[in-house]
Amino acid sequence: MDAFEQLEVWKRSSRLCVNVYKTLGSCPDKGFKDQITRAALSIPSNIAEGHERNSRAEYRRFLKIAKGSCGELRTQLYIGSEVGFIDKQRAGEYITESVHVIKMIQGLINSLAVSDH
């Protein structure tokens, strides 16, 4: 298996995380900022951690955690947009990207399950 840095899903989720951090740099609500940046950071981090576990079962488990974090991020983007912490257009772009990332993670989960049989 290649290094996790070569995975397109890791690259895209890392970019999404960086964008979220930059967008919320001046967010007045520190609790919201902390929660959404933790969710965003969790996605590429869990992809990387699972990849490095050297076990398909562990890798799948961490990918599922990453997928859950991506859903959490998407929820927070909707809420952040509605309360005015994130520009609606920008939030929409990040939501669209998070949907793509979730699909990529699910595809990777599926491919790992298939290769076990």
Domain edges within the chain: 9-21+28-115
| Residue 47 exposed, middle or buried by CB count within 10 Å (0-12, 13-18, 19+) | buried
Mean pLDDT of the chain: 95
Task: Give the tens place of pLDDT for each residue, 9-45.
Answer: 999 999 999 999 999 999 999 999 999 999 999 999 9
- Is the pTM above the cut of 0.85? yes
CATH 1.20.1440.60 correct for 9-21+28-115: yes
Task: Give the tens place of pLDDT for each residue, 102-115.
Answer: 999 999 999 988 76
- 15 Cβ contact partners less than 8 Å away, ≥ 6 residues apart: none
